[in-house]
Amino acid sequence: MVSTLIMQYKWIALSNTTLGVLMATINGTITIISLPAIFRGIGINPLAPSSFQYLLWILMGYNVVTATLLLSFGRLSDMYGRVRLYNLGFLVFTVGSILLSLTFGSGDMAGLELVIFRIIQGIGGAFLMANSAAILTDVFPVNERGRALGINQVAALAGSLIGLILGGILSVINWRYVFLVSVPVGVFGTAWSYLKLKETSARNREGIDWVGNAVFGLGLILVLIAMTYALMPYGSAQTGWGNPFVILSMVAGLGLLASFPFIETRVKYPMFRMELFRNRMFAAANFAGFLRSIGYGGLMIMIVIFLQGIWLPLHGYSYSETPFWAGIYTIPLMVGFVSAGPVSGWLSDRYGSRGLATAGMVLVGIGFLALTALPYNFSYPVFGAIIFMMGVGNGMFASPNTSSIMSSVPAKHRGAASGMRSTLQNTGQTVSIAIFFTIVILSLSSSLGPSLAHALAQAGAPQLSPYVQKVPVTGALFAAFLGYDPVKALLGTLPASVASQIPSSAISIMEQRTWFPSAIAPSFMLALRETFYFGAALSFIAAVASALRGKAKIPEEVVQYDAEKTRR
């Protein structure tokens, strides 16, 4: 009877944590795909100097918060109960979704509200992510963990797929529905988690590492803020890497993070269990996961911007339709992951994680290299096949890697280990977005002006070349994403003496829907190729790190803990 109840409860835990992951990932991609509708709805001018920061903070603010809090929340869950804090995360995330759907005002005020409410969601998401893998590891024995975590990972990618499609549909109706759709799921999941989940782990009543929390949190926040504002123009420069605030924030943040490992080896109750890195499996798998997050984390937003701003308009889609079709055209990436995730989890339970995870990252690296060979007006079947292969590679890597990390640590430290894993993953994703944008902006700063000048000459208006040089790269990038043509806006602000010299035929050409996407496509594709080379390099290095993890060696304490739990 007791054994039957245990069997039933592990599936309850899996279904509830899967729902939490599903809700969080739906919200992530639904925002990416719907940003054009959201910004148009609140009246943000993409060419205003302050506008690009809202794009960055809505994309990155959630990850900045979760990356900062995951370690602390993982440690707290070991002390006060993983289920208790997981349930709280469901509640906070739902409150954040409600606030987002009720955003008041317009323009900059509404943009600021969206950022703040996304941060509230990030706090709830940190509770969820810090504890879901630990809860599953607590209730599933070693020989079933890969499958359970694989199902959880599949739900994460299924949520990403659902979010892309839902975002495309709902953004056409009303941008508020993009956030409102998460509320019913959140309410149901919160009630279910409070009613059904129960604590199965022993409490670890060690104290809180206040010094470590403060040093790590402040250091990470400073670094991520510096990387965010480094993407903003500063003076005459297209990026802010020369901004004294950015430099000081980066130096101070890196200094604090560099001191963090030394602090953790000297405090009584460390939040970051440095001794866990003595385990080769734990260290190599986390390093591989971190590299994978940096190399892959910014890919989706780059693909979405390119599809919505350039490829889809060039193929006859109106800007009001591009969010939906961008979601549809990225489905192969999700299908690849969903098809490989459960199989790789099942195989890793039987044959180990090293070979699967390593092969997966090699596939992702090959996919990045294949993307570099595409022209900007690519054939979709070829593009779809490449991103499907990349999805399969990520599916082969994700669940075996997570399973090997969580199975390699003592049971009493699973909350901390889950927080450490999630922190590295979320930090890597945030850094990835910042790096991808930096590469694109730096590349466009030298190539965008000549591309626009060439397009103007072909249209019959070469006299506009000096004026388009003033269009900031971030503005052009943001404008393309939102379906906004800055050249049309420029035509309305020209001096009368210049405007009178432009032939009507040239104006007619420049006002066509496809003109601006065609004008920036060559330079944007050149910039994307540089990000793809970067992603390929990181993927291959991650494959090497994955191969160095060695064969699985489950700690004896973990095996005994699982055996005793099964007998109970």
pLDDT for 565 beyond 50: no
Is residue 556 in a domain?
no
State in Å, rounded, how far the first CA of the chain is from the last one: 11
Is the domain of 150 the same as that of 9? Answer: yes
Residue 566 has pLDDT above 50, yes or no: no
The pLDDT tens digits for 448-486 are 888 888 888 888 888 877 777 666 777 777 777 776 666
**Is 450:530 a contact under the CB 8 Å cutoff?**
no
Do 261 and 115 sit in the same domain of this protein? Answer: no
127 & 31 share domain: yes
Model confidence at 415, pLDDT cuts 50, 70, 90, reads low
Q: How far apart are CA 82 and CA 86, in angstroms?
A: 6
Of residues 204 and 40, which shows the higher confidence score?
40
pLDDT of residue 7: 60
Give 144-200 pLDDT, tens digit per residue. 766 777 677 677 667 766 777 788 788 878 888 888 888 888 888 888 888 878 777
How confident is residue 371, by pLDDT bands cut at 50, 70 and 90?
Answer: very high
Q: What is the pTM of this model?
A: 0.77
Query: Rg of the chain's alpha carbons, rounded to an integer?
Result: 24
User: What's the pLDDT tens digit per position in 520-560?
Assistant: 888 888 999 999 999 999 999 999 988 887 665 544 444 44
Alpha carbons 159 and 28: distance in angstroms, whole number = 9
Looking at 141, 164, 197, the residue that finishes a domain is 197
Residue 204, pLDDT score? 62
Regarding whether 191 and 215 lie in a shared domain, the answer is no
Average pLDDT over residues 71-86: 78
Longest dimension (CA), the chain: 89
The reply to whether 410 falls in a domain is: no
Domain shared by 228 and 112, yes or no: no
- Pair (23, 145) in one structural domain: yes
Q: Out of 78-82, 272-276, 390-394, give the one with best mean pLDDT.
A: 390-394
pLDDT of residue 49: 63
DSSP 475: H
Residue pLDDT, tens place only, 390-411: 989 988 888 788 778 877 777 7
Same domain, 238 and 177: no
Q: Residue 217 is part of which domain span?
A: 209-268
Q: Are residues 90 and 238 in the same domain?
A: no
pLDDT recorded at residue 182: 81
Mark residue 317 as left, alpha or beta (left: phi above 0; alpha: psi -120 to 50; beta: remaining): beta
Q: How many alpha carbons lie under 13 Å from residue 234 in its C-beta half-sphere?
A: 16
- pLDDT, position 477: 74
Phi, then psi, of 240 in degrees rounded to 5:
-105, 20
Domain identity same for 193 and 217: no
Residue 338 within a domain: no
* Domain end (from 268, 294, 316): 268
Which pLDDT band, with edges at 50, 70 and 90, does 201 fall under? low
Measured CA distances, 111 to 38, 55, 116, 345, 558 (Å)? 9, 9, 9, 41, 47
Residue 231 has pLDDT above 80, yes or no: no
pLDDT: which is higher, 461 or 143: 461
What pLDDT, on a 0 to 100 scale, did the predictor assign at position 72?
A: 75
Q: Percent of the chain beyond pLDDT 70?
A: 86
Residue 263 falls inside a structural domain: yes
- The mean pLDDT value of the chain amounts to 80
CA distances from 448 to 99, 266, 441, 442, 518 (A): 39, 52, 10, 10, 12
Q: What is the mean pLDDT of residues 87-115?
A: 87
The answer as to whether 218 is a domain residue is yes
| CATH classification of the domain holding 131 | 1.20.1250.20
C-alpha to C-alpha distance for 121 and 91, rounded to whole angstroms: 10
Average pLDDT over residues 25-51: 76
Reported residue count of the chain is: 568
**Dihedral sign, Cα of residue 405, residue 407, residue 410, residue 411:** positive
* Residue 465 is assigned to a structural domain of this protein: yes
pLDDT at 424 over 70: yes
Q: Is the domain of 67 the same as that of 173?
A: yes
Instruction: Rank 61-70, 196-205, 282-291 by mean pLDDT and report only the highest.
Output: 282-291
Question: If you search the block for the tokens 């990349």, which residue do you land on?
Answer: 390
- Is 562's pLDDT higher than 60? no
Q: Do residues 148 and 189 both lie within one domain?
A: yes
**How far is the C-alpha of 440 from the C-alpha of 309, rounded, in Å?**
14
**How sure is the predictor about 492, in pLDDT bands with cuts at 50, 70 and 90?**
low
Distance separating alpha carbons of residues 343 and 253, to the nearest angstrom? 41
Q: Where are the alpha helices (DSSP H) in 230-321?
A: 244-264, 280-296, 299-306, 312-314
- Read off the amino acid at residue 307: L
Predicted pLDDT at 561: 44
Quick one: what percent of the chain has pLDDT higher than 90?
11
Q: What is the pLDDT of residue 370?
A: 95
pLDDT of residue 559: 46
CA 179 to CA 93: how far, in whole Å? 11
Give a yes or no: residue 546 inside a domain. no
The predicted pLDDT at position 170 comes to 84
Spatial distance between the Cα atoms of 96 and 90, rounded to a whole number of angstroms: 10
Quote the CA–CA distance of 305 and 288 in Å, as a whole number. Answer: 27
How many domains in the chain? 3
Domain boundary among 166, 197, 228: 197
pLDDT of residue 558: 46
Does a structural domain hold residue 290? no
Q: Residue holding tokens 């899967």?
A: 18
Q: Contact 272/212 with Cβ under 8 angstroms?
A: yes
| In the block, residue with structure tokens 């943040």 | 253
Same domain for 147 and 247, yes or no, is: no
